[in-house]
Amino acid sequence: MNLIEVMERFPDQESCIDHLERVRWRGTPVCPHCGSITVKRKKEDGVGRVGRYNCHDCKASFKVTHGTVFHGTKIELQKWFLAISLILNAKKGLSSYQLQRDLDLNQKTAWFILTRIRAEMVNKTNPIVLQGIIEADETYIGGKPRKENKKEDRKPAKRGRGTSKTTVIGAVERGGEVVAQVVENLTGRTVLQFIRKIVNIKESELMTDEYHGYRQFAAMMKHEVINHQEQYVEGDKHTNTIEGFWSLLKRAWYGQHHHYSVGYTPLYVAERCYVYNNCNRKCILTKFLNESMKV
């Protein structure tokens, strides 16, 4: 759905609530506190009150958004739906400043919405198992250091393995999905744990560069090593797919992060994976909403 379609389909708070109720309850509202279905919708007075229910058993009140990504929000759901669409359609990433301008929000609210949506992408992503030809690689991301890190600035900038930037390890199935995550310490062990968790080793072939952490895989599966000192592509022996993903990740990172914040890197990486893995889906907003209503 593009933004116009989102606005037509969800013109107001009521239509957004209706949609979420249908997805979550399928016609029978359930109290999230006690599980009772003896509940009654309250009378409305103002946007914040739309869709509030009273439970006759435990006397609590609740909304369809209880315990979800939209929990407790005072921002209109239409703005949330638009924000989700904007993020999912932003191939090069979306900054909170851009979101602030697009949806007429204040900066803090835009940042809050972005962070919650990113966290939801981490929480609700189904475990992915890659199979077939798998390219694995690592990269290092980070932006301008904060002022208090000036000492760091004076050190000569290192590149590649051994930098003070955040290390991200990733694997992609050719023609399929990508999985990437931040690792604190890149070692043979972290590489092994990562690949074992997300790759069907028996049914796959691994392509990597010559980093020694990957050598152990030769004993477990078919493993091709591309020596980047010599050449980048040798027939179908290459890691161009994962490198393509890294360049999308970095372009988005450097394009929108004016302040470097290590704490948010995992959320950020998860967002880029989610967008990459769903980019061919027709209605990614609907998928996101369906997932977010599974509590």
Tokens read off for 84: 């989700």
Of 229, 219, 225, the closest CA to residue 237 belongs to: 225
Nearer to Zn ion, 44 or 57 (CB): 57
Nearer to Zn ion, 29 or 213 (CB): 29
To the nearest 10°, the Cα dihedral for 164, 173, 284, 280? 120
Binding span for Zn ion by CB under 5 A among 33-41, 113-121, 130-138, 286-294: 33-41
Angstrom distance (rounded) from CA 97 to CA 86: 13
Choose the stretch contacting Zn ion; rule: CB under 5 A; options: 12-20, 31-39, 180-188, 196-204. 31-39
Q: Residue from 34, 218, 233, 262 that binds Zn ion (CB under 5 A)? A: 34
Q: Which is nearer to Zn ion, 53 or 214 (CB)?
A: 53
# binding residues, Zn ion (CB under 5 A): 7
Interface region with Zn ion, contact rule CB under 5 A, candidates 2-10, 20-28, 51-59, 94-102: 51-59
| Choices 28-36, 94-102, 105-113, 201-209 (CB under 5 A): range interacting with Zn ion | 28-36
Residues 6+ apart with CB under 8 A from 125: 270, 273, 274
CB of 91 to Zn ion, least distance (A): 44
As measured in angstroms, the least distance from the Cβ of 31 to Zn ion is 3
Nearer to Zn ion, 60 or 192 (CB): 60
**Using the rule CB under 5 A, is 36 a contact of Zn ion?**
yes
Minimal distance, residue 12 CB to Zn ion, in Å: 28
3-state SS record for 170-201: EEEECCCCEEEEEECCCCHHHHHHHHHHHECH
Encoded tokens for 77: 């759901």
- Residues 52-71, one symbol each (x = binds Zn ion by CB under 5 A, - = not), give ---x-xx-------------
Cβ 39 to Zn ion, closest distance in Å? 7
Span interacting with Zn ion, options 25-33, 96-104, 107-115, 209-217, rule CB under 5 A: 25-33
Phi, psi of 67 (to 5 degrees): 75, 10
- The rounded distance, in Å, linking the Cα atoms of 129 and 196 is 10
Distances (CA, A) of 97 to 80, 103, 240, 256: 15, 10, 32, 8
Q: Which residues contact 91 (CB under 8 A, 6 or more apart)?
A: 248, 275, 279
Interface region with Zn ion, contact rule CB under 5 A, candidates 36-44, 45-53, 146-154, 264-272: 36-44
- Report the alpha-carbon distance of residue 12 to residue 252 in Å, rounded: 31
Rule CB under 5 A: say whether 115 interacts with Zn ion.
Answer: no
- 57 neighbors 63 (Cβ within 8 angstroms): no
Nearer to Zn ion, 218 or 295 (CB): 295
- By CB under 5 A, tell whether 31 contacts Zn ion: yes
Is the Cβ of residue 35 or residue 160 nearer to Zn ion in the bound state? 35
Interface contacts to Zn ion, rule CB under 5 A = 31, 33-34, 36, 55, 57-58
